[in-house]
Structures are given as C-alpha cells and as structure tokens.
Amino acid sequence: MINAPHVPLRLDLSFELPGSPEQVWDAIATAGGISSWFIDTEMDERLGGVVRFLMGPESESAGSITGWDPPRRVAYVEPDWADLTGHGGAAVTPLTTEFLVEAQSGGTCVVRVVTSAFGTGAEWEGEFFAEMERGWTPFFENLRLYLAEFAGQRASTLRVSAERPGCSAAAVLAAVRAGLGAGEPGQPIDGRGLRGELASVSDAGIVVRVTGPERGYFLFSSHESADGAMVWLAGYLFSAGAAAYVERERQGWQDWLGALGAETVEAPARG
C-alpha cells in the first residue's frame, strides 16, 4: 500500500546530567518533576498509567505508560501525535518514547531519550522529528539546572506567549536576547528587573539562570508560524515568593514579549 506506514522515524539523544539515578527518575517520571523543567504534565505514575502533556489551553498530547522500571527506565506511547501538526488521521504508527538512566562515576547520570514511529515518508513527518530534536536541547539545559540546584523541588511556572507577524523565529530570539541585555553564556542579564545569567543559547531557545527577585530559570523559545513567528516564555521558579511573583508579573511578561524590540524583529523587505 502506498500510504502504509513503513518509513522509520527516530530520534536518539543522550545527555550527561548531575544527580543520582533516584533524583533523575523523580525529574523524568513524576508529574511534578516533569512540570518543573519541561511542560505541565499529568501522570498516573505506574505501568499502564495515563500521561498527558498540556501544551496550552487547547493543545495536549495524551498517552499511556508502557515501561516502568524505577529508577532506570520509563517509556510511554502517544497515539495521536499527528494531531499536533494538523494531520489528524494520518497513516502513522503511535509515537513511542523511552528514557534510559545510567549512573556514572562522580555523581552524574547519562539520560538517553529515544523516540520513534513509522510514517509514510511525508515531508511533515520528518519536519516534526527535526523540530522535536531541535527543541530538546534547551529543555535539557532546564533539566541540568533543575538537578544541579532544585532537585526534588516543585516549580511555580510562568507561561506566556505572543505572536509576531512578519518576523522570523531567529529575529525574535535575537530581540529577546537584546531585550535582556544578554551577551555570551555566563554573562549577566537584566530585563524587566530580572537578575541572573545567560545559561545557554541555541537556535531553539535562550535559557536564563534566574537569581532574583526569585530563583529558578527562564526559557525563551520561538518557531515559525503561518504569519511570522510565535515566541514563548516558560519560567520555573522555586523560592518562597515564586507563586506571588508569577501572579504579579505574568501580564507584564506577556506585554514584554508582545512589544520587545519591535524595530529589530521586522522581516527584511522582499523584492
């Protein structure tokens, strides 16, 4: 059959991270842990349990846990991943994801993430996996910071976004970096009263280690949309005043994303 899902799709990444296998397991295999460095997650923490990744008011991906071997291996399957790209009902097999944890000397672990499915060879399938690989990098920088400084704690999360018509994702991230006064990784930042340092920069996002007025980390990310680009801020804060900060500053950060460096993010004129 021409449309039979026979084309392998695969993502295989490894990251060395601080922490014991038990600390890493808490971060990758519990709802509270995952929500403190990735996206808001609901999870029935057992073999056969339901897992639900909440990507926004009208976007989520649900699945079930197919592997559960604490603290070494957790796996889950998401049957409706094509819906996330507007290709619901496409002839693809369910998306399977497996996390493998291996202890190393010196108090670190290697976490291997393997995600796979079979598709038909459609262009959007490859684009989905390429975007997923690109997106993992800044989130694993979040996880690195979480395990180094906040292992076992639960974050108060700040999530806002804005649409930037006529802009490229790269230009939007450049405007974010300029708005934060961000130079190179390790250098200080200063934006909207936020204090900290630039932790990492990639074409997928900017991660800031936040030291004040609360402690945690912010991830700024962007990707192309039909009319330009979308920009997101995902903040994870852990100190005593974190919840109050999120409530107080959510709208301010929303407005900042919508207005940041407007003159610097305009797409170049087309001839």
Where does residue 98 fall: left (phi above 0), alpha (psi -120 to 50 degrees), or beta otherwise? beta
Give the sign of the dihedral formed by CA 26, CA 32, CA 37, CA 42. Answer: positive
Protein fold of 7-149 = Alpha-D-Glucose-1,6-Bisphosphate; Chain A, domain 4 (3.30.530)
pTM of this structure? 0.91
Q: Given a cut of 60, is residue 167 above it in pLDDT? A: yes
Q: Where in the chain is the domain with CATH 3.30.530.20?
A: 7-149, 156-264
* Exposure string over 161-195, b if 16+ CB within 10 A, otherwise e: ebebeebbbebbbbbbbebbebeeeeeebebeebb
Per-residue pLDDT of 114-148, as tens digits, reads 999 999 999 999 999 999 999 998 999 999 999 99
The three-class DSSP label of residue 184 is: coil
> Which one is the CATH code of 156-264: 3.30.360.10, 3.60.15.10, 3.30.530.20, 3.90.550.10?
3.30.530.20
